[in-house]
Structure 1
Amino acid sequence: MERARPIVAGVVTALVGFASSFTVVLAGLRGVGADERQAASGLLALCVAVGVVSITLGLRHRMPIAIAWSTPGAALLMGAGGSFAEAVGAFVVCGALIMAAGLVPWLGRAIAAIPGPIAAAMLAGVLLKLCLAPVHAMLDVPYLAGPVILVWALLYRFARTWAVPGALLTAVAAIALTSRPAGLDVTPVIEITVPVFTLPSIVGIAVPLFLVTMAAQNVPGMAVLSGYGFRPPLRGVLLATGAASAVGAPLGGHAVNLAAITAALAASPEAEPDPSRRWIASVTAGVSMIGLGLCSSAAAALVLLSPPVLVEAVAGLALFAALGAALSSAFTQADGREGAVVTLVVTASGITWAGVGSAFWGLAAGGLMHLLVRPAQAASLRSTLPTDSA
């Protein structure tokens, strides 16, 4: 049984990763204009991309390099709007930018130069609207949302890892009881969308998607692996995930990256006491994710049977922890707080100007505010320092 421990850990990693956020992916793809088939195809493409990259990197480096789709990136898509073909073009550009970050050192340094509070505030602004969905669901469909939230709260207290999957299963049961689905199509769907490249979609979707994927997924993902003693080559990881994102984009996938939330499930001693065998968990997770992708059509069809606010409520519950972490990172330090506040407010407003969404404008406004107040903060700091007396 001990020999099978990393295999079980890998299966659990895939199940938790899929069940906890596939509703976010479907809601995000629908937010940029995908129809039912395109959304199901996008979910399948992401599952296959995640699985292939997990297997490839795990076997090559013998490390538990868990891969996931960009959950914050999917949340960002919900308010983006526009046509799906333009969104697909932005997904391709995002994949190319991720690859460029692995090939061009200065690009990676430029991303790292973005003040941490501002990057975190942009993520928090993206997540905030979705995390309010459970409140709206309690007002709109209390008989469906009430049991979902109750199960989530109880499991969050006693078995936190299974809180979101448990809430999802409760939602599925509620949908089945109220909608009485018949003849769900479980055939995997592959729908190719020819990408259309426009400046507004590149600036409003591709750039924020790239930034949030790097800042909220790849950077913390590397930190988690490093914390458990694993240091895979970042360049190879970015090239592999960027290429997979670009290839999967015409099928509807938005972005894949290092896992951040579920990374510990495969890399920790609980997965396997022997660090040299933990790579088995990430490889198994990859195989399991491909298998789960074959159920993407049924998942998408089931979601369509439920009130949209209920789907968003489950997605919001899945992102509570991410919102808390983003807010903490944005406002823990007094230095730079003004820029973070501006970034959060503008991003959460959901405005669209010149065809560009609020995530970009939030980052731009917060960056300008940071540059504006920085000299004053530096002068204030200098005034508090002791001076030499002659």
Structure 2
Amino acid sequence: MQLSSTLAWLVDAAAEAPAPERFLADLGQRLIADGVPLAGGALALAAPHPLIARRSWLWRADSGEVTEALGFMPGGLATSAAPSPPGEAGRRWLAGLAGGRVHEDAVPPRPNGPMLAWIGPRPFTAEEAGRLSQAARFAAAPLAALTARATLTAALEAYLGRRSAARVLAGPLRRGVGETIQAALLFADLRGFTALSESNPPSEVISALDAWFDRIALAVQAFGGEVLKFMGDGVLAIFPVAGSTPRSACRAALSAVAAARAGMAHLDEARQQKGLAPLPFGVALHLGEILWGNIGAADRLDFTAIGHAVNLVSRLEGLCRPLDKAVLISGAFAAETTSPLIPLGTHALRGITSPCAVFTAPED
């Protein structure tokens, strides 16, 4: 049987599409070239993500533009409602785009599988609808490959962060594979976590930890940083230096700390209204070189950062309690920022050979 150019592309090359949005746009353009009148199309995929239940891509034939719509999990940041049924966002968008009737196919037909939907400038004929359904059947294999790739990427990003996930996907799974980079480092943890754990049921402890991690991690991500590790009640994050000057990375790290402090102040106020104790914390900032890559056993790896700078920032955070400061900043970091800082003298850090000049940020 002689396949049309669109079906041949679906068999031979579509699985190599770099992303679902590119797949949708290419498929729509090929169907138009084959004589199927289209005004737009939509593709919906289930998303293995802590917050997102489903992702939909919406394509306009007149401009070639593709936009993305997200369906959030119940209780997610954007909504507390149940996620829309498969393809619902795309179906509504298509219905408002043109006067035709939406043609929709499950690929393959199952409740949570990919959904392809199309609309034309007029209702599709029976022959055109049949060609769209045939294209959907041939699309099953490449969409399975795209879904598997998206699932792997989403899972790695959820556990490692976006930058680290990209490095893992791009590099071989071997020990010693990594690179030395310069970064502003942030190390933070809660104070009194042991007492909190011993005096409260596990569910309340986990709820407090999640609230703390929300404030610190989302602040880090909002200013371009990446959380490398959650360690008990602690967080290690990096702001990689781009270009020749670390000033922007340090500025971003300071902004993240300010945002986290504001978020924790609101959280403590809400907790006190419920009769719960506040959650005091300490944060340290440092600038230095780290080895960013794979370490571990022969067959069990961890992607992380190690080096003198990591040791120093963790030891510096340990001074927050004795110095009674929420934020401590190393001399190396302070030298690369124009923000007003308060000097606290030079202090010895446990396990660090040279004393460290220490600064703090103003309270306001």
TM-score norm. by structure 2 comes to 0.21
Q: Which structure is higher in strand share?
A: 2
- Higher Rg: 2
Under a length normalisation based on structure 1, what TM-score does the superposition of the two structures give? Answer: 0.20
More helix as a share of residues: 1
